[in-house]
Amino acid sequence: MKTWLAATFVLAASASTALAQPADPLKAAVAADNRTVGNVARDAWRHPYETLSFFGLKPTDTVVELTPGGGWYTEILAPYLRDAGQLYAAAGEGGRFKAKMDSSSVYGKVKLT
């Protein structure tokens, strides 16, 4: 009986510690539902979480994305940097990328240059 109670206490303490820790905002951005199916499919080869973690990206950073193309990184960076950082996308004016930026509020703080 004592062993069972001790095991229950350890499990409960572990669960409460796990719940108290904040979720990883970068993992949340990679898994966000604003990302297109095609771009998510590329994650298997591009490893966005590992790549951005390697560079030490923080939610307070300012990032300049040069020629963002279809917005694969933008889909991750925009929500990740939205609250405390800044994302500049050097994409020129108009075109498909601009239409993507106008398509969702998640891209509302992306500055196009």
Those residues whose C-beta lies under 8 Å from the C-beta of residue 29, and which sit 6 or more positions away, are 76, 77, 79, 80
| Domains of the chain by residue range | 24-112
Rounded CA separation 80/61 (Å)? 10
- Number of neighbouring beta carbons within 10 Å of residue 45: 6
Render pLDDT for 25-76 as a digit per residue (tens, 0 to 9).
999 999 999 999 999 999 999 999 999 999 999 999 999 999 999 899 999 9
Q: pTM above 0.85? A: no
Which residues lie closer than 8 Å to 67 by C-beta, 6 or more apart?
90, 91
